[in-house]
Amino acid sequence: MNATPFDTRSSEWAGDMTVWLRENANDNQEQIERLLRNLRKARIQELTPRQQEILSLRYEQDMRVTEIARTLGLNRSTVSRTLKRAQDRLRRCLQYAL
């Protein structure tokens, strides 16, 4: 039987992968920048004013759905549905952006 221990091979692979990941970590920076540019455009062009407002409160001001509902005087389920529809619309718009 071969004397090479099993864990040596797997740790070599993990080590090689770690080095590769470290060396190539910035390779997708251009794609991320393009995605963020397209996200800003899509928010302005594709979302309703209410969807824009709710997204802003949720992700930029880090408010919870119940807080947004209380602030805007809406039902919690309305805020949740509006948020979901906005996310779906953005996802469809950005699906092929990369």
What string of DSSP letters covers the chain? Answer: -----HHHHHHHHHHHHHHHHHHTTTTTHHHHHHHHHHHHHHHHHHS-HHHHHHHIIIIIS---HHHHHHHHT--HHHHHHHHHHHHHHHHHHHTT--
- List of domains in the chain: 34-98 (1.10.10.10)
Residue 3, pLDDT score:
55
pLDDT reported for residue 2: 55
**What is the full per-residue pLDDT of the chain (98 aa) written as tens digits?**
555 554 444 444 555 667 766 676 667 778 788 888 999 999 999 999 999 999 999 999 999 999 999 999 999 999 999 999 999 999 998 887 65
- pLDDT at position 9, please? 47
